[in-house]
Amino acid sequence: MTMQVDRNVQRPVLRGLPDALTGLDRCLVMGVLNVTPDSFSDGGAFLGAEAAVAHGLAMVAEGADLVDVGGESTRPGAQRTDAEQETRRVLPVLRSLTDAGVPVSIDTMRASTAAAAVDAGACLVNDVSGGLADEAMARTVADLGVPFVAMHWRGHSVDMDTRAVYDDVVTEVVTELESRLAALTAQGLDIDRIVIDPGLGFAKQGLHNWSLLARLDALQALGRPVLLGASRKGFLGTLLADDSGDPRPADRRADATTALTAVLAARGAWGVRVHDVAGSADAVRVVAALDAAGSPARDAAGSPARDAAGNAARDAAGIPAREAVRGAARDVGNPA
């Protein structure tokens, strides 16, 4: 596979994240932690707080940069979870993870849940409705001062598939996200604290998802960091269907998810939201190392800039200095 790392992509500023995340000059990996009985690919697996916390910590050990905790399923056809049940599911998990030093985001459409989660230590609010489901969300998050993920959304999961109607999905999603950005900032949210997300699978058919993935540049033209949640979603199952046309089951879509992570990271995605962290965590480090090693600074032969670029590649990949030197020496002698 030939991979082009697009070095022209400038990462937009995102304010309000903990320094440990802001300092990572690469695509972030957000591990999915659904504390729900019915999410589409992992529903029920982590409903107990103890199992959920253990899974969150395991994802961090595998290389997740932050853990996205959600207590309400948004699978197609899902009914709403009430606010009390949602907070009862997420808060204990969130507290344990933040106590352990894990950066956590809260996946919620409710302002009250967002506020309680930030109070319990969450550092980002991820709202699949982009602030549309709860009119108090934008002002609440503005007051909380944390970054906000505004996902493209056309309505609740119960009937969202009927809204998957587009003449030109890329133009319409970009235009709808643009109006969202205008509405959110009019309600007091700082533009520099907003991340956008095309909402793969939310009022989107298979081809809509592929079109949006193919045109990440059109989303990036809005000037905000882009998060993508392709992990294990149905369009990957359809792509990888068996000979009789049965979709590949959700728990066997990890490699396809990792492949997408590599491509999206190389194209400058701000982050990927994934269930299977290990592959994506490796992929973003590989892309960062390639990116740093190929940066123009490295071309100045013999100059200190070359060392700086080498260090950047090593740091991005998380490789200690001596190992990097040994690895490079080995690679020179062994082109295989």
Residues contributing to the site for ligand PMM (CB under 6 A): 32, 34, 39-41, 74-75, 107, 126, 128, 149, 151, 197, 199-200, 227, 229, 273
Closer of 86 and 197 to ligand PMM (Cβ): 197
Closer of 103 and 199 to ligand PMM (Cβ): 199
Please, what is the minimum distance in Å from the beta carbon of residue 32 to ligand PMM? 5
Closer of 40 and 270 to ligand PMM (Cβ): 40
SS3 of the chain: the string is: CCCCCCCCCCCCCCCCCCHHHHCCCCCEEEEEEECCCCCCCCCCCCCCHHHHHHHHHHHHHCCCCEEEEECCCCCCCCCCCCHHHHHHHHHHHHHHHHHCCCCEEEECCCHHHHHHHHHCCCCEEEECCCCCCCCCHHHHHHHHCCCEEEECCCCCHHHHHHHCCCCCHHHHHHHHHHHHHHHHHHCCCCHHHEEEECCCCCCCCHHHHHHHHHCHHHHHCCCCCEEECCCCCHHHHHHCCCCCCCCCCHHHCHHHHHHHHHHHHHCCCCEEEECCHHHHHHHHHHHHHHHHHCCHHHHCCCCHHHHHHHHHHHHHHCCCHHHHHHHHHHHHHCCC
What is the pairing mode between strands 148-151 and 194-197? parallel
Pick the catalytic residue: 110, 204, 232, 233?
233
Cα–Cα distance for residue pair 173/182, rounded to 1 Å: 14
Please, what is the minimum distance in Å from the beta carbon of residue 271 to ligand PMM? 9
Closer of 143 and 251 to ligand PMM (Cβ): 251
Is 285 annotated in the active site?
no
Cα–Cα distance for residue pair 24/46, rounded to 1 Å: 29
Please, what is the minimum distance in Å from the beta carbon of residue 289 to ligand PMM? 26
Nearest residue to ligand PMM, scored by beta-carbon proximity: 229
Closer of 184 and 200 to ligand PMM (Cβ): 200
- CB neighbours of 141 closer than 8 A, spacing ≥ 6? 111, 114, 125, 131, 148, 189, 193
Please, what is the minimum distance in Å from the beta carbon of residue 18 to ligand PMM? 18
Closer of 91 and 151 to ligand PMM (Cβ): 151
**Angle at alpha carbon of residue 162, lines to 161 and 165, rounded to 5°:** 95
Pick the catalytic residue: 89, 273, 285, 314?
273
Is 204 annotated in the active site?
no
Please, what is the minimum distance in Å from the beta carbon of residue 75 to ligand PMM? 6
Please, what is the minimum distance in Å from the beta carbon of residue 131 to ligand PMM? 13
* Active-site annotation, residues: 233, 273
